[in-house]
């Protein structure tokens, strides 16, 4: 049976993206738990999203289960390892990621919904880049400082310079988050835009914002995205194109681990422009891995380690998750991302929709890759959940279309409801 198609209304789209305009470290409401603008938006949308997803006509996918387990694991092991005082922090992070996922799965349920989310990011990007220019022109995080004064709190950032320019922050909590946001937006735009003028405008604006942040990892990720985009368009008619990419990636990683003395260090050093920054991140990995090894299953929740580096900054989302929630959460997160990108029995018919799915797959890949040297928090963590949910919706829609055309879609071994299914190629 074909699923009903609809475009999310303006309020829904706005609530999903408005959090990008308010730094979570400054603009908050303390109501027993810290509520950022992004979290409030998700709370308002979560109930209708879950109700829509629970509809028996909506196809469920394996990633739905993985993301549910991610939320439960985060809350459960944080309470076990750190006590009840860790529940609010763990619950907030679970809401941001898993809440973002289920909001996208429930309310952005098809290619029209995916395009609506991409279009909703456009005015946000314009505001963010303009404010980043203000930061650069003023020589200090002007926007951040202004919002801090209006909120009655002290500024949380001091000016950080590279190439004799201040690193712009705009409405985010750190320059690297601004750069990461612009990179992900650029990846989505380069695959969604159907005109040359629109492509140049929105990808160019994303690149400008990424440059103003002066963060090496997001800039390198944008270069990788452009290379993948060019490869995607050049091999668009070849069914083997992504299998080849995964094969080359697997062989490359295996080679790095076989021929280098410090494989992780090699990868990190080649994801940064600045050798000093690369070695600092390598030092973080060297300090964090033994701590993860001490409690690999449950992690340490939000405990301090009496270590200046680990208690101040851990520049990798994978390390932060391992330290707080243990290795199983890392495995669950990888499974959830990969599950949404698995091939379907029948390719998506519309070329524009196929390209849209490719864009969200590339965004997820870059979230995972850049995460080796970037920790995502507040709106970037929400955006990862939203992108994962939209890619899951595109996969579910493709499976529904395949089933309606008579292609066999195999049932999953475990079911969240009687309609839970996954596909095998």
CB-CB contact of 383 with 100 (8 Å): yes
Task: Assess whether pLDDT exceeds 50 at residue 422.
Answer: no
What mean pLDDT, rounded, does the chain reach? 88
pLDDT tens, residue by residue, 10-30: 999 999 999 999 988 887 777
Task: Assess whether pLDDT exceeds 70 at residue 273.
Answer: no
Q: What is the DSSP string of 24-82?
A: TTTSEEESSSEEEHHHHHHHHHHHHHHHHHHSTTSPB-HHHHHHHHHHHHHHHHHHHHH
pLDDT of residue 4: 53
In this prediction, what percent of the chain has a pLDDT beyond 90? Answer: 63
Phi-psi bin for 152: left (phi > 0), alpha (psi -120 to 50), beta?
left
Mean pLDDT of all residues in 120-140: 96
Confidence of residue 110 (pLDDT cuts 50, 70, 90): very high
Task: Assess whether pLDDT exceeds 70 at residue 417.
Answer: no
CB-CB contact of 391 with 341 (8 Å): yes
Task: Assess whether pLDDT exceeds 80 at residue 274.
Answer: no
Question: Which of 28-42, 269-283, 351-365 shows the highest mean pLDDT?
Answer: 351-365
Confidence of residue 413 (pLDDT cuts 50, 70, 90): very low
Task: Assess whether pLDDT exceeds 70 at residue 335.
Answer: yes
pLDDT of residue 329: 98
pLDDT tens, residue by residue, 216-255: 889 999 999 999 999 999 998 887 888 898 899 889 889 9
For the chain, the straight-line distance linking the first and the last C-alpha, in angstroms and rounded, comes to 21
Tokens of 271: 């994801």
Question: Who has greater pLDDT, 296 or 271?
Answer: 296
Tell me 99's DSSP state: I
Nearest CA-CA partner of 105 in 422, 398, 395:
395
Measured between alpha carbons, how far is 222 from 381 in angstroms, rounded to an integer? 18
pTM across the whole model: 0.91
Measured between alpha carbons, how far is 27 from 172 in angstroms, rounded to an integer? 11
Task: Assess whether pLDDT exceeds 50 at residue 3.
Answer: no
Query: What is the CB-side half-sphere exposure of residue 99 using CA atoms within 13 A?
Result: 24
Confidence of residue 5 (pLDDT cuts 50, 70, 90): low
pLDDT of residue 12: 96
Confidence of residue 1 (pLDDT cuts 50, 70, 90): very low
In this prediction, what percent of the chain has a pLDDT beyond 70? Answer: 92
pLDDT of residue 259: 85
pLDDT of residue 415: 35
pLDDT tens, residue by residue, 144-170: 888 888 877 777 788 888 888 899 999
Contacts of residue 282, Cβ cutoff 8 Å, sequence gap at least 6: 262, 264, 265, 268, 269
Mean pLDDT of all residues in 70-93: 94
Domain boundaries, the chain: 10-404
In this structure, of 65-79, 90-104, 296-310, the range with the lowest mean pLDDT score is 296-310
Confidence of residue 346 (pLDDT cuts 50, 70, 90): confident
Mean pLDDT of all residues in 110-137: 96
Mean pLDDT of all residues in 327-354: 91
Task: Give pairs for 157-166: CB < 8 Å, separation 24+.
Answer: 162/214, 162/274, 163/214, 165/136, 165/214, 166/135, 166/136, 166/138, 166/139, 166/140, 166/141
pLDDT of residue 209: 97
């Amino acid at each position: 049976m074909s699923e009903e198609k609809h475009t999310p209304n303006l309020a829904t789209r706005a609530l999903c993206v408005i959090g990008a305009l308010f730094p979570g470290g400054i603009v908050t409401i303390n109501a027993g738990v810290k509520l950022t603008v992004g979290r409030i938006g998700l709370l308002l949308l979560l109930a209708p999203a879950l109700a829509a997803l629970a509809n028996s006509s909506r196809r469920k996918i394996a990633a739905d289960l993985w993301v549910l387990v991610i939320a439960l694991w985060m809350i459960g092991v944080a309470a076990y390892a750190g006590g009840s005082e860790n529940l609010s922090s763990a619950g907030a992070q679970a809401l941001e990621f898993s809440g973002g996922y289920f909001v996208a799965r429930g309310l952005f349920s098809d290619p029209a919904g995916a395009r609506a989310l991409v279009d909703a990011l456009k005015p946000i990007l314009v505001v963010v880049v303009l404010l980043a220019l203000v930061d650069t022109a003023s020589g200090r995080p002007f926007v951040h400082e202004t919002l801090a004064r209006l909120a009655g709190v002290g500024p949380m950032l001091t000016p950080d310079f590279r190439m004799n320019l201040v690193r712009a922050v705009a409405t985010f909590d750190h320059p690297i988050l601004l750069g990461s946001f612009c990179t992900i937006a650029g990846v989505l735009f380069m695959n969604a835009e159907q005109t040359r003028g629109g492509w140049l405008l929105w990808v160019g604006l994303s690149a400008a914002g990424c440059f103003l942040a002066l963060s090496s990892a997001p800039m390198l990720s944008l270069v990788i995205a452009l290379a993948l985009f060019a490869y995607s368009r050049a091999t668009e008619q070849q069914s083997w194109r992504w299998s080849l990419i995964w094969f080359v990636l697997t062989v490359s990683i295996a080679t790095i681990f076989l021929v280098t003395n410090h494989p992780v260090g090699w990868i990190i050093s080649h994801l940064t422009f600045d050798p000093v920054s690369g070695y600092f991140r390598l030092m973080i990995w060297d300090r964090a891995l033994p701590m993860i090894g001490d409690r690999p299953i449950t992690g340490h929740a939000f405990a301090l380690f009496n270590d200046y580096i680990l208690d101040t900054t851990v520049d990798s989302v994978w390390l932060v998750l391992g330290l707080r929630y243990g290795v199983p959460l890392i495995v669950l997160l990888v499974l959830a991302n990969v599950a949404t990108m698995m091939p379907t029995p029948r390719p998506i018919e519309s070329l524009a929709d196929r390209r849209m799915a490719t864009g969200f797959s590339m965004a997820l890949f870059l979230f995972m890759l850049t995460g080796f040297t970037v920790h995502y928090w507040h709106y970037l963590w929400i955006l990862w959940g939203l992108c994962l949910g939209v890619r899951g919706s595109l996969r579910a829609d493709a499976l529904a279309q395949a089933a309606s055309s008579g292609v066999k879609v195999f049932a999953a071994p475990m079911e969240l409801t009687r309609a839970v299914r996954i596909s095998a190629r």
